[in-house]
Structure 1
Amino acid sequence: MDLQERIQHIESRIQAACNRSNRNRKDVEIIAVTKYVSLKTAEKAVEFGCKHIGENRWPDAEEKVSVLATKSTMHFIGHLQSKKVKHIIGKFPYIHSIDRISLAKEIEKQALIQDVNVNCFIQVNVSGEESKYGVSPDELYSLAESLTPYKHLNVVGLMTMAPFEEDKEKTRPIFRELKRLKDRLNEKQIFNYNISHLSMGMSNDFEIAIEEGATFIRLGSQLVGKE
């Protein structure tokens, strides 16, 4: 399939998952992860309707940001080193990987300098895998409380990555737990607003994630290919 056909195919799968879970299709956004494809392919993805673009390394993303930032919404979806924050702020309206207070402090510092607000997701390592970043579920609430003084950092949701499973159903408890954590965070009223987003689900498991409440799914090769 070419790019436009892949996008249409993914769209039909998203709609089916929404139908199964009685969800409105408008409540699920696709982030096209373009880190392995050319700028030309990324531009075509935007042309074919992908409104959100995801990148996870600044040096690789710089050219795409310069071209696509006015045509789409940029999401930084990878692990973020504090020393790289100054490059990211002002170029990526969304950061999906807040996992420590030192990173949040640097984001606030740079956002204050640039006079911008940044939409952030707290990354939670629900699966407990050592290879994955993120706070543990037990640490989530204390981290959330520590973020409340930062006025330029707008926590909009939680993010997680499920293990790759041949049996996709095995990922369902991971996504279900992230939704429970989001609901519990709102019940605690740590922020003076409710967070509403769940960034979860990738190419292997996005349909399960949608059924469990994902509002942003992150799709790479299945959507945009590898060129």
Structure 2
Amino acid sequence: MTISENLFSIKKRIDSALLRAGRKGEDVKLIAVTKTMSVDKISETLSCGVHVFGENKVQELVDKYPKLAGEIEWHLIGHLQTNKVKYIADKVSMIHSVDSVKLAQEIDKRFGAIKKVIDILVEVNIDREESKHGVDPNSVMEFINSINTYENLKICGLMTVAPMAENPEDARIYFKRMKEIFEDIKKSNIDNIDMKYLSMGMTNDFETAIEEGANIIRIGSGIFGPRNY
């Protein structure tokens, strides 16, 4: 299937998932994940009406950024090391993977230097898998309270990566828990926090994520086809 056909299918599935969840008419932001994908494929996706792209690695984003023109918005969705923040400060409109005070401090410093406020999401390690990054689900509120005073970052929501499973139903319990954390924080009315986005769901489980409240989904191979690892 072509990228255009893949996108048509995904959008239909998004609409169906929203309908099942009683969320008809709500908006779900689709992020096309460009990890290992060529500039030509990204350009084709852009021409199909997708304008938000997510990159996992700083170096890939830096390489691709000057080669793509037009109405394009970049998100950094992968793990971000503090020493790499300086390379993306003038290139991204959202960072999905903030999970330490040290990283938040560096983001605040680098974006302050260019007089820019950056939207961030707090990454939650919802299944507490040791090999994954993210804040412990029981410590999210405490973490947010420790970084919400930085002037150059705006906390706009949460992000997670559910455990990989053949059956997307296996991820439902994690998405449901994320939604609970999201709503608890929203009700707390903490300063400098706008719980607007819940970023969860990828190619294999995005429909389940939408049914449980996701309003940002991150799709790579479902749009572009298999990756060249």
- Shorter chain as normaliser: what TM range? over 0.9
Q: Distance in 2 between matches of 1:193 and 1:105?
A: 16
4+ aligned runs moved over 6 Å, structure 1: none
Per the normalisation by structure 1, the TM-score is: 0.95
User: 110-119 or 181-190: which moved more?
Assistant: 181-190
Q: For residue 112 of structure 1, report the CA deviation from its aligned partner.
A: 0.6
What is the SS of the residue equivalent to 1:27?
coil
Q: Does residue 6 of the first structure (1) align with residue 6 of the second (2)? A: yes
Q: For residue 47 of structure 1, report the CA deviation from its aligned partner.
A: 0.8
Against the structure 1 CA distance between its residues 42 and 100, is the aligned structure 2 distance closer, same or farther, given a 3 Å change threshold?
A: same
Q: Does residue 75 of the first structure (1) align with residue 81 of the second (2)? A: no
What is the SS of the residue equivalent to 1:217?
strand
1:39–1:63 contact (8 Å) kept in structure 2 = no
Q: For residue 194 of structure 1, report the CA deviation from its aligned partner.
A: 3.5
Match of residue 145 from structure 1: 145
Q: Distance in 2 between matches of 1:145 and 1:209?
A: 26
Number of residue-to-residue matches in the alignment: 227
Residue identity opposite 1:101 in structure 2: V
Q: Distance in 2 between matches of 1:85 and 1:200?
A: 23
1:102-117 maps to which residues of 2 (within 5 A)?
102-117=102-117
Q: Distance in 1 between matches of 2:17 and 2:25?
A: 9
Q: Distance in 1 between matches of 2:67 and 2:129?
A: 36
Q: Distance in 2 between matches of 1:25 and 1:121?
A: 24
Per the normalisation by structure 2, the TM-score is: 0.95
2:155–2:193 contact (8 Å) kept in structure 1 = no
Q: For residue 3 of structure 1, report the CA deviation from its aligned partner.
A: 1.0
For 1:61-96, what per-residue CA distance to the aligned partner results, in whole angstroms no more than 9, with x for missing partners? 223222347521111000000000001112111000
Unaligned runs of 5+ residues in structure 1 are none
Q: Does residue 36 of the first structure (1) align with residue 36 of the second (2)? A: yes
Q: Distance in 2 between matches of 1:189 and 1:207?
A: 29
What is the SS of the residue equivalent to 1:195?
strand
2:155–2:194 contact (8 Å) kept in structure 1 = no
Match of residue 191 from structure 2: 191
1:1-227 maps to which residues of 2 (within 5 A)?
1-68=1-68, 70-225=70-225, 226=227
1:28–1:217 contact (8 Å) kept in structure 2 = yes
1:126–1:160 contact (8 Å) kept in structure 2 = yes
Q: Distance in 2 between matches of 1:49 and 1:20?
A: 25
Q: Percent identity?
A: 39
What is the SS of the residue equivalent to 2:195?
coil
2:158–2:198 contact (8 Å) kept in structure 1 = yes
What is the SS of the residue equivalent to 1:185?
helix
Q: For residue 99 of structure 1, report the CA deviation from its aligned partner.
A: 0.3
Q: For residue 51 of structure 1, report the CA deviation from its aligned partner.
A: 1.8
1:14–1:25 contact (8 Å) kept in structure 2 = no
